Amino acid sequence: MTYLDDLEHQEWDREKQLLDELERRHALTCDGCVVDMMRNELKQVRREARRAEREALVDAVESLVLLGLDPGGTTGWCLMVFNREAFLDPTVKILDNITMFTLGQITGDEHAQVDEIEAMLDVWPGAAVVCEDFILRTLNKNRDVLSPVRLTFGIQHLLHARGRVAFLQQPAMAKTTATDERLKAWGLYRPGEEHARDATRHCITFARRVKDQRGLLLKAWPNLKDDAVHGI
């Protein structure tokens, strides 16, 4: 289940609980006024839920959001939200300031995958995006071999339209920095989804690069003010 699917599932659960309550009350009394009242309550709760979600997204955008992608026949993704201080204060540890961590995998044809990634970018418009780079190391001429290249271009095009760029990383760098053993020690290891785990490696690797190279900070999150970066 993807991040967006999970949001829809949660909203449906909330609505179902309210509809169940509506049916229960209607069974006790057939007074139309009660039914109308419950329908109005349902509408009000839905409005409040949507407002709360928007406020949560605003809070997340004010934090630093990082989306890691491992594009291919199955595209792995990882989303991390950090407190700003994790990068603005040298004494603060990155791993202690991850306020949200979720991951998953996208399947389907390349068009469908790009569409789903676009939906994630719409939900998290301020996210920095780090993507596994692809270098052909085989003589295999099957078209599927170049799927990561086509998907990466699609991702870059989506970001270009938003005035942003994708940061590319070599897989060897990520696998050396964030081994399975380290991911387990950090509490970031999720078994079974290899591509999502590779996307997690890229998130952590890029976060450490940003921490060590302040020049990357404004490139990754241009919504940050220059004085916030240089005033520490």
Q: For residue range 12-27, what is the model confidence (pLDDT) as tens digits? A: 666 667 666 666 665 5
pLDDT of 60 > 50? The answer is no
The per-residue pLDDT for 61 is 46
Q: How far apart are CA 221 and CA 225, in angstroms?
A: 9
Residues found in the chain: 232
Q: Do residues 151 and 114 lie in contact, with contact meaning Cβ atoms separated by under 8 Å?
A: yes
Quick one: what percent of the chain has pLDDT higher than 90? Answer: 44
Mean pLDDT of the chain: 80
Task: Identify the residue whose tokens are 């995006």.
Answer: 129
**CA nearest neighbour of 97 among 117, 81, 110, 111:** 81
Q: Is the pLDDT reported for residue 48 higher than 90?
A: no
Percent composition of the chain: helix, strand, coil (DSSP 3-state, to 5) = 60, 15, 25
Question: Between 45 and 124, whose confidence is greater?
Answer: 124
In DSSP terms, 69 is beta-bridged to 77, 131
* Distant-in-sequence, close-in-space partners of 180: CB < 8 Å, separation ≥ 6: 189, 197
Q: CB neighbours (10 Å) of residue 218?
A: 15
Q: Is the pTM of this model over 0.85?
A: no
Superfamily classification of domain 63-230: Ribonuclease H-like superfamily/Ribonuclease H (3.30.420.10)
Reported as a single tens digit per residue, the pLDDT across 173-218 is 989 999 999 999 999 999 989 999 999 999 999 999 999 888 888 8
